[in-house]
Amino acid sequence: MTLRSIALALVPLFLSLNVLAGDAEDIQQLLKSKQLPQALDRADKALIKSPKEPSIRFLRGIILTEMGRTDEGIKAFTQLSADNPQLPEPYNNLAVLYAQQNQLDKARAALLMAIQTNPAYATAHENLGDLYARLASQAYDKALQLEGSNPAVQTKLKMVGSLFGNPIAPSKASNAKVAIVTPAAKPADVVAIVTPTAKPLTTPSPVPAKPTATPAPVVKATSAPTLAPTPAPKLETHDADKQQIAAAVEGWAQAWSKQNVNGYLAAYGSDFKTPGGQKFSAWGAERRNRISSPKSIEVKIADLKIEINDDSTAKARFRQSYKASHLSSTTGKTLILAKSGGRWLIREERAGS
C-alpha cells in the first residue's frame, strides 16, 4: 500500500538542529545515485561522531528501507521518534512501513501521532484518509463475500477503487484488492529528505503502480463526496479527538516503558498540576531519576475510556499495569488532558478511576 512517494530533495533535514551538513549532503547524494551500501557506511561513520543527530539517523532509516531491510528501518524510525517526539516525519514514515506490512492498526496509530505532533502536517492527513479508504475497501469486500448480491456494497467498493484510479468491477469484488496510490508515485523514487517546512516525506511502495496514459488527479478529501450519491462519511470532531487522545496516552505509556524520559515528560503540559504543588522542573527531575533507575520498565494500559468535556479538555480513564525490576502493580488511573497547540497534553494525573 503506497501512502505517498516523492523525489529526493537536496537540502539537509532539520537544519535548525546543528546537523552535520557535509555528511548529510554526501549521504543524500549517495542515496540519489542508489549507492546504498556506501550511503549506509557513511551514515554509520557520521553517527559514531554524533550518535544522537536526528537528521543522520533519519537518513539511515531511509537507507535501510531502500535496501529492503524493513524491520531495521522500522526500528530506526521508532527509536528516532522516541528520542524526538516533537518531529512528525518519523511517525509518518513508520506508518508507511507498517502499511506495507499490512499492519494497518499500527499505521493508523503512527499517523495519529504525526498529526498530534503537527496538526498542519498535510501529508499525514492525506495518508490517514488513504488508510481509512483501504480499511473501507476491505470491509466492503468482506461484506460482499458474506452477501454478494448486495448492490449497494458493490457500488461502494467500486467507488472506493475509482477514487484512487483503480476501479474494481463488482463481479470480481470478492478477490479485489484496492491499491491506495498517488498516480504520480514511482517505485524507484527515493524517500525525500526535507526540512520541516518543505513537502513532507514518505517511503516508496514495494509494488509498482500500473502506468496509465493519463494519470488520475490526486483526490482531496473535499472532493470525495462528488464520487458518490451521498457524501463520504466523516469522522465526528470528537471521534477524531478521541483517536488523538488515545494515541497520546499510548505514546506516554510507550515512552515510560522505553525509559525515554524526554518523551515521557513531553506528554505533560506546562500547567501540569504536580503532586504537592512542586515546580514542574523539580517534579520532572524526580521523575527522571525514578524512570531511569530501574533496569527495565513495562507499562501497559487497558480498558481505556475517554470523555470529551469540551473542545479543549478531556478525561482518560484506564487500568494501568506497571512492572519494573523491583515492583509490579495494577491500578486505575485518570488523566485530565488539555488541547494545546493541536496536541493533547496531560494537565492532571490521578490514581483511581
Residue 238 has pLDDT above 80, yes or no: no
Residues 286 and 157 in one domain: no
What is the number of helices (H) and of strands (E) in the chain? 11, 4
347: domain CATH number is: 3.10.450.50
Q: Do 205 and 262 share a domain, yes or no?
A: no
Query: How is residue 299 written as a grid cell?
Result: 507499562
CATH number, position 127: 1.25.40.10
Clarify whether residues 182 and 262 are in a common domain.
no
Predicted TM-score of the model (pTM): 0.48
Domain range holding 322?
Answer: 238-351
Instruction: Answer whether 111's CB lies under 8 Å from 85's CB.
Output: no
> Of 177, 207, 227, which residue is a domain's last?
227
Pair (193, 58) in one structural domain:
yes
Judged against a pLDDT cut of 80, whether residue 321 lies above it is answered with yes
Which pLDDT does position 170 carry in this prediction?
40
Residue 181 binned pLDDT confidence (cut-offs 50, 70, 90): very low
Q: Can you give the pLDDT at residue 86?
A: 86
Examine the domain organization and report whether 124 and 190 are in the same domain.
yes
Better-scored residue on pLDDT, 150 or 350: 350
> Per-residue pLDDT for 319 more than 50?
yes
> Do 204 and 283 belong together in one domain?
no
Q: What is the mean pLDDT of residues 215-220?
A: 37
pLDDT of the residue at 307? 92
Let me know if residue 10 belongs to a domain.
Answer: no
Pull the grid cell for residue 310: 469540551
pLDDT at residue 120 in the model? 84
Is position 245 within any domain? yes
Higher pLDDT, 180 or 155: 155
Same structural domain, 171 and 216: yes
Q: What is the reported pLDDT for 213?
A: 41
Do both 177 and 264 map to the same domain? no
Residue 46 has pLDDT above 50, yes or no: yes
Out of 44-48, 216-220, 348-352, the most confident range is 44-48
The better pLDDT of the pair 205, 336 is held by 336
In a 3-state reduction of DSSP, which class is residue 28?
helix
Length of the chain (residues): 353
Instruction: Please tell me the predicted confidence (pLDDT) of residue 340.
Output: 85
Burial of 171 (0-12, 13-18, 19+ CB in 10 A): exposed
Task: Tell me what pLDDT residue 344 has.
Answer: 92
**The predicted structure's pLDDT at residue 230:** 36
Domain boundary among 203, 227, 251: 227
Instruction: Kindly state whether residue 3 falls inside one of the protein's structural domains.
Output: no
Return the sign of the alpha-carbon dihedral for residues 97, 26, 32, 218: positive
- 6 lies in a domain? no
pLDDT of residue 122: 86
* Count of the separate structural domains present in the chain: 2
Residues 84, 26 share a domain: yes
pLDDT-derived band at 311 (thresholds 50, 70, 90) equals confident
With vertex at residue 344, the alpha carbon angle to CA 281 and CA 348, rounded to the nearest 5 degrees, is: 50
Residues 52 and 177 in one domain: yes
pLDDT at 208: 38
| Spatial separation of the C-alpha atoms in residues 104 and 88, rounded to whole Å | 18
- Asked if pLDDT for residue 218 goes beyond 80, the answer is no
> Do 206 and 311 fall within a single domain?
no
* % pLDDT > 70, the chain: 69
Query: Which of the given ranges, 53-57, 180-184, 222-226, 333-337, has the highest pLDDT on average?
Result: 333-337
Strands 343-351 and 328-340: antiparallel
What does the pLDDT average to over 89-116? 89
191 vs 37, residue with greater confidence: 37
Last residue of a domain, one of 208, 227, 246: 227
For the segment 227-254, the average pLDDT, to the nearest whole number, is 69
> Of 229, 212, 232, nearest to 221 (Cα)?
232
Q: Which residues pair with 333 in a beta bridge?
A: 318, 351
Contact 31, 8 (CB under 8 A): yes
Is there a contact between 194 and 28 (Cβ–Cβ < 8 Å)?
no
> What is the structure's pLDDT at 161?
62
Q: Is residue 154 part of a domain?
A: yes
- Are residues 152 and 284 part of one domain? no
Of the candidate ranges 88-97, 187-196, 248-257, the one whose mean pLDDT is the lowest: 187-196
Q: What's residue 272's pLDDT?
A: 93
